[in-house]
Amino acid sequence: MIASILPRRREDLKKAVRSGELPEYLEIRLDLLGVDEILDLVKGIPSRKIAACRARRDGGMFDGREEERTAILEEALISGLFAYIDVEMESEAVGLIARHDRQKFIVSYHDLSGTPDDLPDIYRRLSSIEGASFYKLVPFARSLRDNLRVKGILTRANSENVPLISFCMGMHGTLSRVLSIAWGSRGVYASLFREEETAPGQLGYDDLLNVLDIGRINAKTRIFAVLGYPLRHSMSPAIHNALYRDQNLDFVCIPLELPSIDEVFECVDEFNMAGFAVTSPFKRSILKFADHQDEAVKAIGAANTVILKGSSVHAYNTDTEAFSSELKRLVNPGLERFAVLGDGGAASAVAYILRRENAADFRIFSRNEDRGREVSRRFGCIWQDIGALKEYDYSVLVNCTTVGMYPDMESSPIAEDSLKGKLVYDLIYNPEQTKLMRMAAPKGIATVNGASMLLKQAALQFELLTGRKPSEHLMAQTFRDKMLFLDKEKLE
Protein backbone atom coordinates (compact mmCIF):
# COMPACT_ATOMS: atom_id res chain seq x y z
CA MET A 1 0.00 0.00 0.00
CA ILE A 2 1.19 3.47 -0.89
CA ALA A 3 0.32 6.52 1.19
CA SER A 4 0.15 9.83 -0.60
CA ILE A 5 0.73 13.42 0.49
CA LEU A 6 0.37 16.67 -1.45
CA PRO A 7 2.30 19.27 0.59
CA ARG A 8 1.10 22.83 0.12
CA ARG A 9 3.77 24.17 2.48
CA ARG A 10 6.82 22.81 4.24
CA GLU A 11 4.85 22.34 7.46
CA ASP A 12 2.80 19.60 5.78
CA LEU A 13 5.93 17.49 5.32
CA LYS A 14 7.10 18.28 8.85
CA LYS A 15 3.75 16.92 10.06
CA ALA A 16 4.44 13.70 8.14
CA VAL A 17 7.88 13.37 9.75
CA ARG A 18 6.35 13.95 13.21
CA SER A 19 3.52 11.47 12.65
CA GLY A 20 5.70 8.59 13.80
CA GLU A 21 5.02 5.34 11.94
CA LEU A 22 5.29 6.01 8.24
CA PRO A 23 4.31 3.58 5.48
CA GLU A 24 6.87 1.58 3.53
CA TYR A 25 5.96 3.54 0.40
CA LEU A 26 5.10 7.25 0.39
CA GLU A 27 4.14 9.22 -2.69
CA ILE A 28 5.16 12.88 -2.38
CA ARG A 29 3.31 15.05 -4.82
CA LEU A 30 5.38 17.93 -6.16
CA ASP A 31 2.45 19.84 -7.71
CA LEU A 32 2.85 22.88 -5.45
CA LEU A 33 6.33 22.67 -3.89
CA GLY A 34 9.49 22.14 -5.93
CA VAL A 35 12.09 19.53 -5.03
CA ASP A 36 14.59 22.16 -3.91
CA GLU A 37 12.07 23.50 -1.37
CA ILE A 38 11.66 20.19 0.44
CA LEU A 39 14.86 18.20 -0.13
CA ASP A 40 16.07 18.60 3.46
CA LEU A 41 12.74 17.31 4.79
CA VAL A 42 12.54 14.44 2.31
CA LYS A 43 15.88 13.19 3.61
CA GLY A 44 14.29 12.72 7.04
CA ILE A 45 11.53 10.42 5.76
CA PRO A 46 12.56 6.73 5.97
CA SER A 47 9.86 5.46 3.57
CA ARG A 48 10.64 4.42 0.02
CA LYS A 49 9.50 7.57 -1.73
CA ILE A 50 7.72 8.10 -5.03
CA ALA A 51 7.87 11.51 -6.73
CA ALA A 52 4.85 12.62 -8.74
CA CYS A 53 3.80 15.94 -10.24
CA ARG A 54 0.22 15.77 -11.43
CA ALA A 55 -1.20 18.35 -13.84
CA ARG A 56 -4.78 19.54 -13.37
CA ARG A 57 -6.00 17.60 -16.39
CA ASP A 58 -4.80 14.44 -14.64
CA GLY A 59 -6.42 15.34 -11.33
CA GLY A 60 -3.49 17.25 -9.83
CA MET A 61 -2.75 20.87 -8.96
CA PHE A 62 0.28 21.66 -11.13
CA ASP A 63 -0.39 24.66 -13.39
CA GLY A 64 3.01 25.10 -15.02
CA ARG A 65 4.26 24.26 -18.50
CA GLU A 66 4.98 20.68 -19.49
CA GLU A 67 8.74 21.28 -19.72
CA GLU A 68 8.68 22.65 -16.16
CA ARG A 69 6.95 19.52 -14.89
CA THR A 70 9.49 17.34 -16.65
CA ALA A 71 12.34 19.35 -15.07
CA ILE A 72 10.83 18.92 -11.58
CA LEU A 73 10.58 15.17 -12.00
CA GLU A 74 14.10 14.91 -13.44
CA GLU A 75 15.45 16.88 -10.50
CA ALA A 76 13.72 14.45 -8.12
CA LEU A 77 15.25 11.54 -10.01
CA ILE A 78 18.77 12.99 -9.96
CA SER A 79 18.54 13.72 -6.21
CA GLY A 80 18.67 9.99 -5.53
CA LEU A 81 16.09 10.34 -2.74
CA PHE A 82 13.20 8.75 -4.59
CA ALA A 83 12.76 5.05 -5.28
CA TYR A 84 10.41 5.76 -8.18
CA ILE A 85 9.36 8.63 -10.41
CA ASP A 86 5.73 8.66 -11.58
CA VAL A 87 5.27 9.95 -15.16
CA GLU A 88 2.03 10.25 -17.08
CA MET A 89 1.74 8.07 -20.18
CA GLU A 90 0.87 10.99 -22.47
CA SER A 91 3.23 13.55 -20.94
CA GLU A 92 6.59 14.88 -22.06
CA ALA A 93 8.08 13.43 -18.87
CA VAL A 94 7.67 9.88 -20.16
CA GLY A 95 10.77 10.61 -22.26
CA LEU A 96 12.85 10.55 -19.06
CA ILE A 97 12.74 6.74 -19.16
CA ALA A 98 15.07 6.65 -22.16
CA ARG A 99 17.58 9.00 -20.52
CA HIS A 100 17.83 7.48 -17.03
CA ASP A 101 17.73 4.29 -15.01
CA ARG A 102 14.75 2.57 -16.57
CA GLN A 103 13.80 0.66 -13.43
CA LYS A 104 12.89 3.76 -11.48
CA PHE A 105 9.63 4.64 -13.25
CA ILE A 106 5.91 4.22 -12.77
CA VAL A 107 4.02 5.06 -15.97
CA SER A 108 0.51 6.31 -15.19
CA TYR A 109 -2.79 6.97 -16.89
CA HIS A 110 -5.58 8.87 -15.09
CA ASP A 111 -9.02 9.73 -16.42
CA LEU A 112 -11.08 12.15 -14.34
CA SER A 113 -14.03 12.09 -16.74
CA GLY A 114 -15.02 8.47 -16.19
CA THR A 115 -14.04 4.92 -17.10
CA PRO A 116 -13.47 5.00 -20.86
CA ASP A 117 -15.09 2.49 -23.18
CA ASP A 118 -11.68 1.74 -24.70
CA LEU A 119 -10.10 0.82 -21.33
CA PRO A 120 -8.52 -2.40 -22.74
CA ASP A 121 -6.89 -0.39 -25.54
CA ILE A 122 -5.55 2.17 -23.04
CA TYR A 123 -4.14 -0.69 -20.97
CA ARG A 124 -2.47 -2.12 -24.09
CA ARG A 125 -0.86 1.21 -24.97
CA LEU A 126 0.21 1.82 -21.37
CA SER A 127 1.79 -1.60 -20.87
CA SER A 128 3.63 -1.41 -24.21
CA ILE A 129 5.87 1.41 -22.92
CA GLU A 130 9.17 -0.30 -22.20
CA GLY A 131 11.40 0.21 -19.20
CA ALA A 132 8.90 0.91 -16.40
CA SER A 133 8.88 -0.95 -13.11
CA PHE A 134 5.13 -0.52 -12.72
CA TYR A 135 2.16 0.69 -14.72
CA LYS A 136 -0.73 2.57 -13.14
CA LEU A 137 -4.22 2.74 -14.67
CA VAL A 138 -6.76 4.76 -12.68
CA PRO A 139 -10.09 5.84 -14.21
CA PHE A 140 -12.97 7.60 -12.45
CA ALA A 141 -15.90 5.31 -11.58
CA ARG A 142 -19.35 6.58 -12.57
CA SER A 143 -21.02 3.35 -11.46
CA LEU A 144 -20.22 0.29 -9.37
CA ARG A 145 -19.83 -1.73 -12.57
CA ASP A 146 -16.81 0.39 -13.51
CA ASN A 147 -15.00 -1.34 -10.63
CA LEU A 148 -15.66 -4.66 -12.33
CA ARG A 149 -14.15 -3.37 -15.57
CA VAL A 150 -10.95 -2.57 -13.67
CA LYS A 151 -11.07 -6.03 -12.14
CA GLY A 152 -11.14 -7.46 -15.66
CA ILE A 153 -8.08 -5.42 -16.65
CA LEU A 154 -6.22 -6.65 -13.57
CA THR A 155 -7.07 -10.24 -14.44
CA ARG A 156 -5.62 -9.70 -17.92
CA ALA A 157 -2.51 -7.96 -16.56
CA ASN A 158 -1.77 -10.82 -14.18
CA SER A 159 -2.16 -13.39 -16.96
CA GLU A 160 0.35 -11.37 -19.01
CA ASN A 161 2.74 -10.77 -16.05
CA VAL A 162 2.32 -7.01 -16.35
CA PRO A 163 3.03 -5.24 -12.99
CA LEU A 164 -0.16 -3.15 -12.96
CA ILE A 165 -1.56 -0.89 -10.25
CA SER A 166 -5.23 -0.25 -10.96
CA PHE A 167 -8.36 0.88 -9.13
CA CYS A 168 -11.06 3.53 -9.55
CA MET A 169 -11.36 7.09 -8.26
CA GLY A 170 -14.57 8.66 -6.99
CA MET A 171 -17.18 7.57 -4.44
CA HIS A 172 -18.28 4.72 -6.74
CA GLY A 173 -14.69 3.47 -6.74
CA THR A 174 -14.46 2.58 -3.03
CA LEU A 175 -14.89 -1.15 -3.63
CA SER A 176 -11.96 -1.24 -6.04
CA ARG A 177 -9.72 0.65 -3.60
CA VAL A 178 -10.44 -1.98 -0.95
CA LEU A 179 -10.50 -5.06 -3.17
CA SER A 180 -7.91 -4.25 -5.85
CA ILE A 181 -5.01 -5.95 -4.04
CA ALA A 182 -7.10 -9.14 -3.82
CA TRP A 183 -7.83 -8.73 -7.55
CA GLY A 184 -4.11 -8.63 -8.32
CA SER A 185 -3.20 -4.93 -8.26
CA ARG A 186 0.44 -4.35 -7.29
CA GLY A 187 -0.62 -1.54 -5.00
CA VAL A 188 -3.29 0.93 -3.97
CA TYR A 189 -3.00 4.54 -2.88
CA ALA A 190 -4.34 6.07 0.33
CA SER A 191 -4.08 9.52 1.86
CA LEU A 192 -1.46 9.74 4.61
CA PHE A 193 -3.87 11.87 6.64
CA ARG A 194 -7.66 11.62 6.60
CA GLU A 195 -9.42 14.56 4.98
CA GLU A 196 -6.22 15.43 3.12
CA GLU A 197 -6.94 13.27 0.08
CA THR A 198 -4.81 13.66 -3.03
CA ALA A 199 -7.46 12.14 -5.35
CA PRO A 200 -11.27 11.85 -5.42
CA GLY A 201 -12.61 9.03 -3.28
CA GLN A 202 -9.26 8.28 -1.67
CA LEU A 203 -9.43 6.48 1.67
CA GLY A 204 -7.18 7.12 4.64
CA TYR A 205 -4.04 5.04 5.15
CA ASP A 206 -5.12 4.03 8.65
CA ASP A 207 -8.57 3.06 7.38
CA LEU A 208 -7.19 0.78 4.67
CA LEU A 209 -4.46 -0.73 6.83
CA ASN A 210 -6.10 -1.10 10.23
CA VAL A 211 -9.87 -0.63 9.92
CA LEU A 212 -10.48 -2.44 6.62
CA ASP A 213 -7.34 -4.57 7.02
CA ILE A 214 -7.00 -5.10 3.27
CA GLY A 215 -4.17 -7.58 3.81
CA ARG A 216 -6.77 -10.14 5.01
CA ILE A 217 -8.97 -9.81 1.93
CA ASN A 218 -8.85 -12.49 -0.77
CA ALA A 219 -10.91 -13.42 -3.81
CA LYS A 220 -13.40 -15.38 -1.66
CA THR A 221 -13.93 -12.77 1.07
CA ARG A 222 -17.59 -11.86 1.50
CA ILE A 223 -18.62 -8.21 1.75
CA PHE A 224 -20.91 -6.75 4.38
CA ALA A 225 -21.30 -3.19 3.12
CA VAL A 226 -22.48 -0.11 4.99
CA LEU A 227 -24.95 1.79 2.80
CA GLY A 228 -25.49 5.46 3.60
CA TYR A 229 -24.82 9.04 2.61
CA PRO A 230 -22.73 10.50 4.13
CA LEU A 231 -20.62 7.88 5.94
CA ARG A 232 -17.49 9.84 6.76
CA HIS A 233 -17.30 8.85 10.40
CA SER A 234 -19.25 5.60 10.51
CA MET A 235 -18.12 3.27 13.30
CA SER A 236 -19.57 0.14 11.67
CA PRO A 237 -16.52 -0.90 9.59
CA ALA A 238 -14.15 -0.70 12.57
CA ILE A 239 -16.50 -2.65 14.87
CA HIS A 240 -17.50 -5.38 12.40
CA ASN A 241 -14.01 -5.92 11.01
CA ALA A 242 -12.58 -6.28 14.52
CA LEU A 243 -15.14 -9.03 15.15
CA TYR A 244 -14.31 -10.80 11.88
CA ARG A 245 -10.60 -10.79 12.77
CA ASP A 246 -11.36 -11.99 16.29
CA GLN A 247 -13.30 -15.02 15.05
CA ASN A 248 -11.20 -15.58 11.91
CA LEU A 249 -14.18 -15.07 9.60
CA ASP A 250 -13.64 -14.34 5.92
CA PHE A 251 -15.78 -11.19 5.80
CA VAL A 252 -14.99 -7.51 5.38
CA CYS A 253 -17.21 -4.56 6.23
CA ILE A 254 -16.80 -1.77 3.64
CA PRO A 255 -18.44 1.67 3.66
CA LEU A 256 -20.36 2.39 0.45
CA GLU A 257 -21.14 6.09 0.42
CA LEU A 258 -23.48 6.47 -2.55
CA PRO A 259 -26.25 8.94 -3.43
CA SER A 260 -28.45 6.05 -4.63
CA ILE A 261 -28.52 2.33 -3.85
CA ASP A 262 -30.44 1.05 -6.86
CA GLU A 263 -27.33 -0.15 -8.68
CA VAL A 264 -26.01 -2.04 -5.63
CA PHE A 265 -28.51 -4.85 -6.06
CA GLU A 266 -27.59 -5.24 -9.72
CA CYS A 267 -24.14 -6.60 -8.88
CA VAL A 268 -24.30 -8.33 -5.49
CA ASP A 269 -23.06 -11.61 -6.95
CA GLU A 270 -20.13 -10.05 -8.84
CA PHE A 271 -18.90 -8.44 -5.61
CA ASN A 272 -19.64 -11.49 -3.41
CA MET A 273 -21.87 -9.43 -1.11
CA ALA A 274 -23.33 -11.05 2.00
CA GLY A 275 -25.47 -8.20 3.27
CA PHE A 276 -25.71 -4.58 4.29
CA ALA A 277 -25.83 -2.33 7.31
CA VAL A 278 -28.24 0.39 6.21
CA THR A 279 -28.24 3.93 7.50
CA SER A 280 -29.66 7.31 6.52
CA PRO A 281 -31.17 8.02 4.00
CA PHE A 282 -31.82 4.46 2.77
CA LYS A 283 -33.63 2.76 5.67
CA ARG A 284 -36.99 3.07 3.91
CA SER A 285 -36.01 2.87 0.24
CA ILE A 286 -34.08 -0.38 0.82
CA LEU A 287 -37.39 -2.19 1.37
CA LYS A 288 -38.28 -2.23 -2.32
CA PHE A 289 -35.55 -4.86 -2.74
CA ALA A 290 -36.62 -7.01 0.24
CA ASP A 291 -38.22 -10.42 -0.31
CA HIS A 292 -38.74 -10.96 3.43
CA GLN A 293 -39.20 -8.50 6.31
CA ASP A 294 -39.11 -9.13 10.05
CA GLU A 295 -41.95 -7.97 12.30
CA ALA A 296 -40.23 -4.73 13.29
CA VAL A 297 -39.54 -3.78 9.66
CA LYS A 298 -43.17 -4.40 8.72
CA ALA A 299 -44.35 -2.25 11.60
CA ILE A 300 -41.84 0.56 11.11
CA GLY A 301 -41.45 0.59 7.34
CA ALA A 302 -37.67 0.87 7.71
CA ALA A 303 -34.74 -1.54 7.92
CA ASN A 304 -31.16 -1.10 9.10
CA THR A 305 -29.94 -4.60 8.21
CA VAL A 306 -30.18 -6.69 5.06
CA ILE A 307 -28.89 -10.25 4.80
CA LEU A 308 -28.59 -11.99 1.43
CA LYS A 309 -29.56 -15.64 1.62
CA GLY A 310 -29.05 -17.20 -1.76
CA SER A 311 -31.26 -15.21 -4.11
CA SER A 312 -33.48 -13.90 -1.27
CA VAL A 313 -33.13 -10.50 0.38
CA HIS A 314 -34.06 -10.48 4.09
CA ALA A 315 -34.64 -7.15 5.87
CA TYR A 316 -34.34 -6.64 9.62
CA ASN A 317 -34.37 -3.77 12.08
CA THR A 318 -31.90 -4.29 14.92
CA ASP A 319 -32.33 -0.69 16.14
CA THR A 320 -35.60 -1.70 17.78
CA GLU A 321 -34.29 -4.42 20.09
CA ALA A 322 -31.18 -2.36 20.83
CA PHE A 323 -33.33 0.59 21.91
CA SER A 324 -35.68 -1.68 23.87
CA SER A 325 -32.76 -3.07 25.85
CA GLU A 326 -31.43 0.42 26.55
CA LEU A 327 -34.86 1.79 27.47
CA LYS A 328 -35.58 -0.84 30.10
CA ARG A 329 -32.08 -0.39 31.53
CA LEU A 330 -32.69 3.33 32.08
CA VAL A 331 -36.36 3.79 33.00
CA ASN A 332 -39.72 2.10 33.50
CA PRO A 333 -41.47 3.00 30.22
CA GLY A 334 -44.92 2.65 31.73
CA LEU A 335 -44.23 5.51 34.14
CA GLU A 336 -42.72 8.02 31.69
CA ARG A 337 -43.84 10.54 29.09
CA PHE A 338 -41.57 10.64 26.05
CA ALA A 339 -40.82 13.41 23.57
CA VAL A 340 -39.33 11.90 20.41
CA LEU A 341 -37.43 14.32 18.16
CA GLY A 342 -37.36 13.38 14.48
CA ASP A 343 -39.47 11.65 11.87
CA GLY A 344 -37.05 9.26 10.12
CA GLY A 345 -36.22 5.58 10.51
CA ALA A 346 -34.65 5.99 13.96
CA ALA A 347 -37.69 7.88 15.28
CA SER A 348 -39.95 5.15 13.92
CA ALA A 349 -37.89 2.46 15.66
CA VAL A 350 -38.13 4.36 18.95
CA ALA A 351 -41.89 4.93 18.58
CA TYR A 352 -42.42 1.23 17.78
CA ILE A 353 -40.71 0.20 21.02
CA LEU A 354 -42.47 2.86 23.10
CA ARG A 355 -45.82 1.55 21.84
CA ARG A 356 -44.79 -2.09 22.40
CA GLU A 357 -43.50 -1.39 25.91
CA ASN A 358 -46.67 0.53 26.86
CA ALA A 359 -45.09 3.91 27.53
CA ALA A 360 -47.37 6.13 29.60
CA ASP A 361 -47.38 8.66 26.76
CA PHE A 362 -45.19 9.64 23.81
CA ARG A 363 -45.33 12.24 21.08
CA ILE A 364 -43.43 12.89 17.86
CA PHE A 365 -41.89 16.35 17.42
CA SER A 366 -40.41 17.39 14.08
CA ARG A 367 -40.34 20.19 11.52
CA ASN A 368 -41.71 18.17 8.59
CA GLU A 369 -45.44 17.82 9.17
CA ASP A 370 -46.11 15.21 6.49
CA ARG A 371 -43.38 12.84 7.67
CA GLY A 372 -44.11 13.51 11.34
CA ARG A 373 -47.82 12.80 10.98
CA GLU A 374 -47.05 9.62 9.07
CA VAL A 375 -44.98 8.33 12.00
CA SER A 376 -47.62 9.38 14.54
CA ARG A 377 -50.43 7.69 12.58
CA ARG A 378 -48.41 4.50 12.27
CA PHE A 379 -47.88 4.24 16.03
CA GLY A 380 -51.04 5.88 17.33
CA CYS A 381 -49.55 8.94 18.98
CA ILE A 382 -49.65 12.72 18.60
CA TRP A 383 -47.43 14.71 16.23
CA GLN A 384 -46.55 18.31 17.01
CA ASP A 385 -44.27 20.86 15.45
CA ILE A 386 -40.95 20.98 17.27
CA GLY A 387 -41.73 24.54 18.36
CA ALA A 388 -44.53 23.18 20.58
CA LEU A 389 -42.14 21.02 22.62
CA LYS A 390 -41.94 23.50 25.51
CA GLU A 391 -45.69 23.06 26.11
CA TYR A 392 -45.47 19.31 26.59
CA ASP A 393 -44.73 18.04 30.09
CA TYR A 394 -42.39 15.21 29.10
CA SER A 395 -40.02 13.36 31.43
CA VAL A 396 -37.74 11.74 28.83
CA LEU A 397 -36.44 13.35 25.63
CA VAL A 398 -35.14 11.06 22.86
CA ASN A 399 -33.23 12.79 20.06
CA CYS A 400 -33.50 10.79 16.83
CA THR A 401 -32.21 13.58 14.56
CA THR A 402 -28.63 14.05 13.37
CA VAL A 403 -28.50 17.68 14.58
CA GLY A 404 -25.38 18.06 16.71
CA MET A 405 -23.49 15.18 15.13
CA TYR A 406 -19.84 15.71 14.16
CA PRO A 407 -18.77 17.97 12.53
CA ASP A 408 -21.82 20.14 13.36
CA MET A 409 -21.10 19.92 17.09
CA GLU A 410 -22.35 23.37 18.09
CA SER A 411 -25.92 22.78 16.93
CA SER A 412 -28.87 21.54 18.95
CA PRO A 413 -32.23 20.28 17.64
CA ILE A 414 -34.09 22.38 20.25
CA ALA A 415 -33.66 25.58 22.24
CA GLU A 416 -32.55 25.47 25.87
CA ASP A 417 -35.91 26.73 27.15
CA SER A 418 -37.58 23.59 25.77
CA LEU A 419 -35.42 21.28 27.92
CA LYS A 420 -37.03 19.66 30.96
CA GLY A 421 -37.67 16.26 32.49
CA LYS A 422 -35.23 13.83 34.02
CA LEU A 423 -33.42 12.21 31.07
CA VAL A 424 -32.09 13.22 27.66
CA TYR A 425 -31.27 10.23 25.48
CA ASP A 426 -29.36 11.41 22.40
CA LEU A 427 -28.90 8.69 19.79
CA ILE A 428 -25.81 10.52 18.49
CA TYR A 429 -22.49 9.03 19.68
CA ASN A 430 -20.00 11.33 17.93
CA PRO A 431 -19.30 13.58 19.77
CA GLU A 432 -19.76 11.77 23.06
CA GLN A 433 -21.26 14.92 24.56
CA THR A 434 -23.54 16.74 22.11
CA LYS A 435 -24.59 20.34 22.60
CA LEU A 436 -28.04 19.07 23.59
CA MET A 437 -26.48 16.97 26.36
CA ARG A 438 -24.27 19.86 27.48
CA MET A 439 -27.35 22.09 27.73
CA ALA A 440 -29.18 19.49 29.83
CA ALA A 441 -26.47 18.82 32.41
CA PRO A 442 -26.63 22.19 34.26
CA LYS A 443 -30.38 21.68 34.69
CA GLY A 444 -29.78 18.44 36.56
CA ILE A 445 -31.10 16.34 33.68
CA ALA A 446 -29.35 13.00 33.23
CA THR A 447 -27.88 12.40 29.77
CA VAL A 448 -27.05 9.28 27.77
CA ASN A 449 -25.58 9.13 24.26
CA GLY A 450 -26.15 6.52 21.56
CA ALA A 451 -22.95 4.49 21.99
CA SER A 452 -24.54 1.56 23.83
CA MET A 453 -27.42 1.37 21.37
CA LEU A 454 -24.96 1.44 18.48
CA LEU A 455 -23.02 -1.50 19.91
CA LYS A 456 -26.16 -3.50 20.71
CA GLN A 457 -27.61 -3.11 17.21
CA ALA A 458 -24.23 -3.97 15.66
CA ALA A 459 -24.01 -7.12 17.80
CA LEU A 460 -27.43 -8.21 16.50
CA GLN A 461 -26.31 -7.50 12.92
CA PHE A 462 -23.23 -9.66 13.46
CA GLU A 463 -25.39 -12.54 14.74
CA LEU A 464 -27.76 -12.29 11.80
CA LEU A 465 -24.85 -12.37 9.35
CA THR A 466 -22.65 -15.05 10.93
CA GLY A 467 -24.86 -16.99 13.35
CA ARG A 468 -22.28 -16.33 16.08
CA LYS A 469 -22.17 -14.27 19.26
CA PRO A 470 -19.75 -11.35 19.19
CA SER A 471 -17.35 -10.31 21.93
CA GLU A 472 -19.02 -7.37 23.68
CA HIS A 473 -15.72 -6.44 25.31
CA LEU A 474 -13.97 -6.27 21.94
CA MET A 475 -16.77 -4.18 20.48
CA ALA A 476 -16.60 -1.66 23.33
CA GLN A 477 -12.80 -1.47 23.14
CA THR A 478 -12.87 -0.98 19.37
CA PHE A 479 -15.43 1.79 19.77
CA ARG A 480 -13.29 3.54 22.41
CA ASP A 481 -10.15 3.23 20.30
CA LYS A 482 -11.90 4.61 17.24
CA MET A 483 -13.34 7.53 19.21
CA LEU A 484 -9.88 8.37 20.54
CA PHE A 485 -8.53 8.29 16.99
CA LEU A 486 -11.29 10.60 15.75
CA ASP A 487 -10.82 12.96 18.71
CA LYS A 488 -7.12 13.21 17.89
CA GLU A 489 -7.99 14.08 14.28
CA LYS A 490 -10.36 16.81 15.45
CA LEU A 491 -7.58 18.40 17.50
CA GLU A 492 -5.19 18.29 14.55
Question: Which amino acid is present at 241?
Answer: N
Question: Which amino acid is present at 102?
Answer: R
- Contacts of residue 41, defined as CB under 8 A and 6 or more positions apart, other chains included, come to 10, 13, 14, 17
Question: Which amino acid is present at 125?
Answer: R
Q: Which one of 136, 151, 283, 435 is the catalytic residue?
A: 283
Residue 491, classified by CB atoms within 10 Å of its CB into exposed (0-12), middle (13-18) or buried (19+), is exposed
What is the spatial distance between Cα 290 and Cα 313, in angstroms, rounded to a whole number? 5
**Per-residue b/e over 63-97, b at no fewer than 16 CB within 10 Å?**
eeeeeebbbbbbebbeeebbbbbbbbbebbbbebb
State yes or no: is 283 an active-site residue: yes
Q: What are phi and psi of 236, to 5 degrees?
A: -55, -45
- Contacts of residue 93, defined as CB under 8 A and 6 or more positions apart, other chains included, come to 53, 66, 69, 70, 73, 74, 87
What is the spatial distance between Cα 258 and Cα 274, in angstroms, rounded to a whole number? 18
Residue 277, classified by CB atoms within 10 Å of its CB into exposed (0-12), middle (13-18) or buried (19+), is buried
Catalytic machinery residues: 283
